[in-house]
């Protein structure tokens, strides 16, 4: 966006000691690198050169993009499914609750008794 001034406006500004000059670093839109999840569970995709104006940022953030890749890994860890639970030390089976594990352990005791 360039600002155009009339001759009168320029004269008026000159009288007051002001001048308006184009600043290339301001006219070029700044870009940002953001991160989003890929198709695979632990895949993080780097999206570089995205527009960083407030409207675009809001849009990207609402679509699950993050500014730091580690924010995505934290979110992955917070997912309860398959990540957290109780593992049976005998057969390695993963159970969601402590109660389910207790029930599962009883099944091992039964099979052990049968073997003896």
Q: Please report, as ranges, the residues that interact with Zn ion according to CB under 5 A.
A: 88, 90-91, 93
Rounded CA gap, 49 and 68, in Å? 15
Q: How far is the CB of 115 from Zn ion (least distance, A)?
A: 15
* Residue closer to Zn ion (CB basis): 25 or 115: 115
Q: How far is the CB of 84 from Zn ion (least distance, A)?
A: 18
Distance, CA of 74 to CA of 44 (rounded, Å): 12
Q: Which is closer to Zn ion, CB of 71 or CB of 89?
A: 89
82, 42 in Cβ contact below 8 A? no
């Amino acid at each position: 966006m360039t600002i155009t001034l009339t001759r009168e406006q320029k004269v008026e500004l000159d009288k007051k000691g002001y001048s308006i000059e184009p600043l290339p670093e301001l006219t070029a839109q700044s870009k940002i690198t953001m991160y989003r999840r890929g198709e695979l569970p632990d895949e993080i995709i780097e999206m570089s050169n995205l527009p960083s104006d407030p409207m675009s940022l809001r849009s990207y953030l609402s679509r699950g993009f993050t500014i730091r890749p580690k924010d995505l890994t934290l979110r992955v860890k917070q997912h309860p499914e398959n990540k957290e639970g109780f593992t049976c030390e005998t057969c390695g089976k993963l159970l969601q609750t402590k109660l389910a594990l207790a029930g599962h352990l009883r099944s091992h005791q039964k099979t052990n008794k049968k073997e003896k």
